[in-house]
Amino acid sequence: MHPSSCGHQHQVHGPYKNRRSTQNPHFPAPRLGQAKHPQPLAEMSLTFVIVSILALASGANAVISGNYNCTTYNGTAFVYTPAAVACSNVISDASCQVLYAAPNTLYPASGNDAERAYACYTTATATPAATVNDMVTAAISTCPKTCGFCCQTSAYSCSNVAYPRLDCNTITAAQCASSVWRTIIAAECPAACGFCNDGGCVDGVVGCANDISICNTIGLETFVATYCQRTCGKCASSTTTASSASSSTCTSYNADSSSSCTAWAKNGFCTNTFYTTAVRKSYCATTCKLC
């Protein structure tokens, strides 16, 4: 007769001796790799919070920080102005993107808040970072558009006239290229379109310089005088303007009340009949030679 049938306790020998089984025969043991216990709710919540904080931290780096040139505050965040990216890079765009790799894949554009490449303004590799003027100068001289620094270039960094006939802040890129608007903008809002180096005189249309032979072509005299003034040398000379402005018999003049008179005079302020003599005299009597 088998020992177990006689009421004797079954003896276990070997490595499993004295091990007591707690396994319920109706519920099989978990398979290898299967979790025995669900993740506690508190632990899951903590993980979610940590991930959320990291996501917010990484998103915060996407906003403009460190250097706010050519930006404006829109009520929520600092964003780039249209003038920040209105120019062209001096070297190729592809080269600029290698030299100034965007920290968050996005580059400055009108109205966005993409972080500038750090090399555009600092020698640091993370924010917060102090502006290094040499880095800014290098960026402006090579890749001003990629770095969002167009408004710092000489073509965009002059003063507009004191009382323009149009709102300089609302001028669009289309107006800058329009034959209807270009000459007016050059005289009164040069900083809006990058006309600061043109002395108030620009071609009425884009492209005159592509073929300067038109300046002497018979039959195009009227067109050239109207639309290609700068390329073909049809602008009113500065000497004529100066002589007409200084034709008065005054021997002394009131001091200028504005420090921008020299720039305004280059843009035609002294001779622009839109401004009354009283207005011109109140601001720039000495520069405009007004008694």
In this structure, are 81 and 148 located in the same domain? yes
Predicted local distance difference test score (pLDDT) of residue 140 = 95
**Does residue 116 lie in a domain region?**
yes
How many of the other CB atoms lie within 10 Å of CB of 94? Answer: 9
Last residue of a domain, one of 121, 152, 183: 152
Q: What is the largest CA-CA distance in the chain?
A: 145
Q: Report yes or no on 47 lying in a domain.
A: no
Q: Is residue 244 in a domain? A: no
Do 144 and 102 share a structural domain? Answer: yes
The answer to whether residue 160 is domain-embedded is no
Cβ atoms of 193 and 171 closer than 8 Å: yes
Which of these three, 152, 185, 215, is where a domain ends? 152
14 in helix, strand or coil?
helix
Same domain membership, residue 128 and residue 185: no
Residue 180: give the domain boundaries.
173-228
Each residue's pLDDT, cut to its tens digit, for the chain (291 residues) gives 444 444 444 454 454 444 444 444 454 555 554 545 555 544 545 444 444 443 444 444 458 887 899 998 999 999 998 889 999 999 999 999 999 999 888 999 999 999 999 999 999 988 888 999 999 999 999 999 999 999 999 999 898 988 888 898 888 889 998 988 998 999 899 999 999 998 888 999 989 989 988 988 888 989 998 899 888 888 875 333 333 444 445 667 788 888 888 888 877 788 776 677 777 888 888 888 887
Residues 95 and 142 reside in one and the same domain: yes
In whole angstroms, what is the distance from residue 188 CA to residue 192 CA? 9
Do the domain assignments include residue 188?
yes
Reported pTM = 0.56
| Strands of the chain, DSSP E | 71-73, 78-80
Tokens 């965040």, located at residue: 77
Measure the CA dihedral 33/34/38/43, to 10°.
20
pLDDT in tens, 143-176: 999 999 999 999 998 989 888 888 988 888 899 9
Q: What is the DSSP letter of 50?
A: H
Q: Is residue 202 part of a domain?
A: yes
Report yes or no on 265 lying in a domain.
yes
Instruction: Find out whether 224 and 242 touch, Cβ atoms under 8 Å.
Output: no
Boundary (domain end) residue, out of 152, 181, 202: 152
Q: What is the total count of domains within the chain?
A: 3
**CA–CA separation, 182 and 204 (whole Å):** 6
Residue 261 contacts residue 291 (beta carbons within 8 Å): no
Q: Flag whether 109 is in a domain.
A: yes
**Residue whose entry in the numeric block shows the structure tokens 């632990």:** 43
**H-only helix segments in 177-218:** 182-188, 190-193
Burial class from Cβ neighbours inside 10 Å (0-12, 13-18, 19+) for residue 157 reads middle
